[in-house]
């Protein structure tokens, strides 16, 4: 009805207008939809209301409603409460997911990170697995970002440096447990094989710890001549070989035994001995020396 009235009013207004104005009125009249046409708004808002903070949303945890009817996200104030509890009581009484939350605060601002912390632990088993996770696997977890990966790498670097400081430039026999603990920290949760050589001086003091090679989930290429060459460069008198088994089982394979013998032959030619070869598993390690494999 409104469209019909508009059409009649436009027709009645034609008298007294210039030719150009009349053309404009004709064009406007042609644009008016028929009276029975179904019309809709030319513009609609591009966003949609989500349920992330609804009472039933599992990830968000819902809204908290006070006595006056005011609402706020359930996690408001949670970060400060968690920081205060950590600083006042330490970490021992805190579950792993809360420690991980504290770390995630630095990578993800404002939102609730508890669900992400729990997803990471579920995906990688424990804090060790989360910290050692590869970038590819980490980013497959919903909510994880490159900033999360960066924070985990920083934490890993600190852990490695602190563990290494307990053994570097110290006599290995008296600090053997610390040495094994360091190797476990750096290698036990790797998803691929890693081969390290620890170089010792004449007093069995650890003078260098170097990663020689990285490989696949079940193989790492090692070149005996390169190991011997590096021992000469460092004036080392003995070495300790260390590598990990991503499968978790530290049992030496025939290839491990053969490779150890070839390195022993190469180093023996320059009067450098092998003190031990340690294979690191997820929950245990095997020493070639204690197993009588030399």
pLDDT at 63 over 70: no
- Cα 210 to Cα 116, 183, 198: the distances in Å are 35, 12, 7
Measure the CA dihedral 47/49/50/54, to 10°: 160
Question: Which tokens go with 141?
Answer: 């977890």
* pLDDT-above-70 percentage for the chain: 74
pLDDT at 19 over 90: no
Residue 69: partners with Cβ closer than 8 Å, 6 or more residues away:
none
User: Rounded to whole angstroms, how far apart are CA atoms 241 and 271?
Assistant: 16
Question: Which of 132, 94, 140, 92 lies closest to 116 in space, CA to CA?
Answer: 140
Q: pLDDT for 85-117, tens place per residue?
A: 999 999 988 999 999 999 999 999 878 899 999
* pLDDT band (50, 70, 90) for residue 56: very low
Q: Which residue has the higher pLDDT, 207 or 33?
A: 207
- pLDDT average, residue stretch 144-155: 95
* pLDDT band (50, 70, 90) for residue 49: very low
Residue 56 phi, psi (nearest 5) = -100, 0
Residue 215: partners with Cβ closer than 8 Å, 6 or more residues away:
192, 193, 194, 195, 221
């Amino acid at each position: 009805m409104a469209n019909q009235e508009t059409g009649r009013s436009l027709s009645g207004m034609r008298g007294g207008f210039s030719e150009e104005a009349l053309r404009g009125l004709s064009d406007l009249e042609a644009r008016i939809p028929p009276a029975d046409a179904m019309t809709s708004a030319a513009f609609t808002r591009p966003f949609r209301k989500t349920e992330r903070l609804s009472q039933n949303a599992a990830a968000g945890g819902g809204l908290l409603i006070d006595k006056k009817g005011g609402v706020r996200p359930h996690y408001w104030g949670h970060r400060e409460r968690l920081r205060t509890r950590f600083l006042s009581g330490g970490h021992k009484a805190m579950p792993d997911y809360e420690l991980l939350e504290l770390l995630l605060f630095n990578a993800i601002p404002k939102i609730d990170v508890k669900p992400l912390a729990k997803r990471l632990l579920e995906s990688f088993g424990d804090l060790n697995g989360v910290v050692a996770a590869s970038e590819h696997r980490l980013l497959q977890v919903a909510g994880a970002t490159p900033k999360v990966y960066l924070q985990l790498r920083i934490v890993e670097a600190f852990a490695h440096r602190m563990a290494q400081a307990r053994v570097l430039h110290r006599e290995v026999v008296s600090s053997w447990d610390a040495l094994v603990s360091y190797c476990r920290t750096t290698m036990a949760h790797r998803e691929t094989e890693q081969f390290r050589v620890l170089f010792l001086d004449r007093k069995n003091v650890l003078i260098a710890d170097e990663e020689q090679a990285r490989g696949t989930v079940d193989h790492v290429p090692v070149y005996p001549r390169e190991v011997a060459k590096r021992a000469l460069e460092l004036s080392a008198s003995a070495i300790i070989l260390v590598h990990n088994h991503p499968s978790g089982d530290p049992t030496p394979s025939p290839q491990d035994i053969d490779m150890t013998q070839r390195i022993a032959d190469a180093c023996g030619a320059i009067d450098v001995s092998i003190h031990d070869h340690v294979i690191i598993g997820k929950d245990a390690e095997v020493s070639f020396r204690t197993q009588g494999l030399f």
